[in-house]
């Protein structure tokens, strides 16, 4: 007989099923009826997939959350490096000067 899936495996399989149904053209409502989740949950899985290429959301550890704190400039843009911070300030200055 086949092995039973663990709850974690079922969770991952359901999320990939949602992505497959979405890519096949099913609406959020149809998918939610198929998998037994709310349309909001289905929408969130699809949005996660569009953003990252994976329907599984990895939670950040407390150390990772602390690392991300303060990684935004004064305009709310994410800063990936010091070079990017300089580039954003130059762009902002050009926009302000052109007004």
Q: Give the model confidence (pLDDT) of 57-87 as tens digits.
A: 777 677 766 665 556 666 666 666 555 555 5
Give the integer Cα–Cα distance in Å for 87 and 89.
5
Helices (H) and strands (E) in the chain, counts: 5, 0
Same domain, 45 and 76: no
Whether 38 contacts 65, CB under 8 Å: no
Same domain, 44 and 66: no
Same domain, 74 and 54: no
Same domain, 8 and 43: yes
Please give the residue range of the domain that contains residue 90.
62-99
How many structural domains does the chain have? 2
* CB burial of residue 31 (10 Å; 0-12, 13-18, 19+): buried
**What integer is the mean pLDDT of 17-35?**
95
pLDDT at site 81: 58
pLDDT at site 35: 95
Same domain, 14 and 34: yes
Whether 54 contacts 48, CB under 8 Å: yes
Strand residue runs (E) in 19-82: none
pLDDT at site 57: 79
pLDDT at site 53: 86
What CATH number corresponds to the domain at position 47?
1.10.10
Same domain, 40 and 86: no
Same domain, 21 and 49: yes
Same domain, 39 and 67: no
Same domain, 16 and 53: yes
Give the integer Cα–Cα distance in Å for 63 and 79.
18
pLDDT at site 80: 61
Token readout for 67 is 């690392």
pLDDT at 46 over 90: yes
Higher-scoring residue by pLDDT: 68, 5? 5
């Amino acid at each position: 007989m086949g092995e039973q899936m663990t709850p974690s495996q079922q969770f991952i399989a359901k999320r990939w099923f949602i992505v497959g149904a979405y890519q096949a053209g099913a609406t959020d409502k149809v998918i939610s009826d198929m998998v037994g989740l709310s349309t909001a949950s289905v929408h969130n899985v699809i949005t996660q997939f569009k953003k990252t290429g994976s329907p599984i959301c990895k939670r950040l550890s407390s150390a990772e959350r602390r690392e991300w704190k303060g990684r935004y400039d004064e305009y709310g843009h994410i800063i990936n490096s010091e070079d990017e911070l300089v580039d954003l300030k130059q762009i902002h200055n050009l926009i302000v000067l052109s007004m």
